[in-house]
A and B are shown apart, each in its own frame.
Chain A
Amino acid sequence: MSVLKPLKAWKHLARKPHTIRYPAQEHLDMEGTRLPTDRLRGFHSNDLEKCIGCRMCGQICMNDAITYEEIPELEGKKGKNIRPVVDYGRCCFCGLCTDICPTNSLHLTPNFKLVSTDKHDYKFMPTQLITKNEDYEVELDKVIFDAKEYKEKF
């Protein structure tokens, strides 16, 4: 027991703070790995060409966050011409929809930043624009995708 021992805390005055100035400063872990890593569960990415519109993701979603929208251009391809639309006001990012996906087209990406004053911006069709390699650089306008904008890949 000592009255002076707690004063050791003063030596922290000369130390760097825990706090980082996010996003100006990078978030690194103890070993210097950049966070978030690929495993972080953020926004979805869906390969619209690979997806067959089987509605499994909507059935397992316990928050009813997934609805479907028709894309007439996909008529004649394998499966149905519907693709999932995710309401991120409801989504809890558990990722059950991606684990149940039979074609592995639906993924969760480490991209989690979305700021908007309009609630409708939080409901959109995830596309592959948020791909694994590009997640850090994707801009918000590119992520918000309307079914009408769909163009076939050649």
Chain B
Amino acid sequence: MKEYELFIGPQHPGVTGNMMYHLWVDGDTVTKAECNVGYLHRGFEKLMESRNWMQNVPLVCRICVPEPDVNEMAYAMAVEQLMDWEIPERAKYIRVVILELARIAAYLMSIGSYAGSLGIYTLPQWALGDRDYFLDIFEQLTGARVYHIYIWPGGVRWDMPEKLPGLIEKTLSYTEKRLKLYDDVLFKNRIFFDRAVGIGKIPRGKAIEWGVTGPNLRACGYGYDIRKLEPYAVYDDMDFEVIKYPELGDFDVLSDGCDAYTRMIVRRLEIEQSISIVRQALEKMPEGEHIIKHPNWLKWKVPPGYAFKRVESSKGEYGYFVVSDGSSKPVRIHVRGPSYTHGVNVAETILKGANMADVSQILFSLDVCPPDIER
């Protein structure tokens, strides 16, 4: 049969944002896939070189829309290392709370859109509705719903309002209740078992070589989590286990890992893990200062040197390489984003041989964030 070309995106609902996949299809089987980006390019890395150290804070969060806080965290940690700053304990706990809340919100969005790609249209409505309660928390804590601009070098911008822990606890217990319904509708649904098991397999031996990180790598059976390997903030005080294939808790191990099914189950279990981390952080949070005194922002000079800091996001591993020559602007900032590897080389390779109907569920199960690809 003659091969034909198909474009998914940039306006297609079956693709994870403003990006496009160019597919060559033979009958119903994809023979070649090519990632095509350029719709979101804003040149973050170059822009950061022309702005001073503080002006970069509102910029870095724009590298990942569903979960912006990890970028602020990595940038702040790199600048703190260059400045040799020790940040207050309370700020570290508040950082853990907001990072984990952002992770839950990002997972809800990812699970919702994944269910939509299977044709279960109930869950996207629920998950996005429930995510909105997390945005309400962010609004009261940081002053914005999406781009928080909250984690600053030296601490966090504002202290946590007194009433907020109560609201967070209420939202978390609500989410726990809702997760049981999510299980009925998606994670223990026959459609999910029939369609996701064995689909979109990343070869286990190749996963590390391809640069796969985050839940996608943990679904391949590697217990790789920056929060455990290189604990930042106060993650070393938190009690949690890395969730990886084949330890899937209440969920059945239906395949030998690395597929869309395991990836989504790992995400589902990590929501519960994050809920427990937020509770621990709120419980252990000490009193005290939330930020250290900054120098005058317009004259702030960072000592020469370089720093590389990594954080674990819901998509995978984020790394920030920051170089300073002692002036008021960075010389170079390089961002290592997880979506670049997942969205370009991994997706292009594993889409080969996939069924046309499975393309969007494979893409959603990789949880790609387009602004990160073309930063």
State the A residues within 8 Å of B (CB).
Answer: 1-3, 5-6, 8-9, 18-19, 29-31, 33, 35-37, 39-41, 56, 59-60, 62, 92-96, 100, 108
Contacts and interface: CB of A to CB of B under 8 A. Distances in A.
A31 B139 contact: no
Interface of B: 51, 54-55, 57-59, 120, 122, 125, 129, 132-133, 136-137, 139-144, 147, 149, 158, 161, 163, 166-167, 170-171, 174, 181, 184-185, 188-191, 193, 252, 297-298
Interface SS of chain A: loop
10 pairs of A and B residues whose beta carbons are closest in the complex: A18-B129, A94-B58, A62-B55, A29-B136, A5-B184, A41-B143, A39-B143, A8-B184, A30-B170, A9-B122
Contacts of B55: 60, 62, 96
B82 to A, nearest CB: 20
A38 to B, nearest CB: 9
B170 A31 contact: yes
B58 A92 contact: yes
A9 B136 CA distance: 25
Contacts of A29: 133, 136-137, 140, 167
Contact of A30 (B57, B147, B171, B188): B171
21 contacts: A1-B190, A1-B252, A2-B190, A5-B184, A6-B120, A6-B185, A8-B185, A9-B185, A30-B171, A33-B140, A35-B136, A35-B139, A36-B139, A37-B140, A39-B143, A39-B158, A39-B161, A92-B58, A96-B54, A96-B55, A96-B58
Contacts of B129: 18-19
A37 B139 contact: yes
Contacts of A9: 122, 181, 184-185
Contacts of A6: 120, 184-185, 189, 191
Contact of A5 (B140, B166, B189, B297): B189
Interface SS of chain B: helix
Contacts of A41: 143-144
Contacts of A59: 298
Contacts of A96: 54-55, 57-58, 297
A1 B147 CA distance: 39
A1 B129 CA distance: 26
Contacts of B143: 39-41, 95, 108
B167 A39 contact: no
Contact of B144 (A19, A56, A62, A93): A93
A3 B190 contact: yes
Contacts of B170: 30-31
Contacts of A18: 125, 129, 132
A95 B58 CA distance: 9
B142 A39 contact: yes
A53 B120 CA distance: 57
A122 B183 CA distance: 47
A57 to B, nearest CB: 11
Contacts of A19: 129
